[in-house]
Amino acid sequence: MTTSKPRPDLRPPGLNTDEKTTLLTFLDYLRESVLAKAVGVPEPAVRTAGVPSGTSLLQLLKHLTATELNWFVWAYTGAGSEPWDDEGAVSAEDTVSDVADAYRAAITRANEVVLACTDLDRPGARSLRETAPPSMRWVLVHMIEETARHAGHADILREQIDGSTGR
């Protein structure tokens, strides 16, 4: 089974792996990619917007933290009274270390929910959209898509900062 701890081999899973492990391993791979782009970037570059929309590496981490908690914890398990703010507003007190740790903690919590799920077809408790609660399979695929989009954004932002490319 996959956990949120980094694997020594960060290639995608083998071809003959069960569905939940495959989905979670691809998601973990993307999560680690986003973290790798943000960790080690000095101030103020990590919080400086690289595009007119205001997106920064630190803001991406904050957004993904809330998105993990919203879909896996708030929507799927039904825990909490309100969803987390996923706008990712970065405060002056936010540090890369603190925000990365919060993202890692959200990943751990999300993975616990996934690993406890015995049926990927089972719908969650509620939805963040005006639809019926989605299945765990849908949540996993959505989070792969969401994290992959933002991993691409992080690639571009990091290249703008210091020319770093690749994973």
pLDDT in tens, the chain (167 residues): 333 344 445 566 677 789 999 999 999 999 999 999 998 899 999 999 999 999 999 999 999 999 999 999 999 999 999 999 998 789 999 999 999 999 999 999 999 999 999 999 999 999 999 999 999 999 999 999 999 999 999 999 999 999 988 76
The model carries a pTM of 0.91
DSSP, res 12: P
Cα four-point dihedral sign 86, 62, 95, 102 = positive
**Residue 5: exposed, middle, or buried by beta-carbon count in 10 A (0-12, 13-18, 19+)?**
exposed
CATH number of 19-162: 1.20.120.450
Cβ atoms of residues 32 and 10 within 8 Å: yes
| Amino acid residing at 86 | D
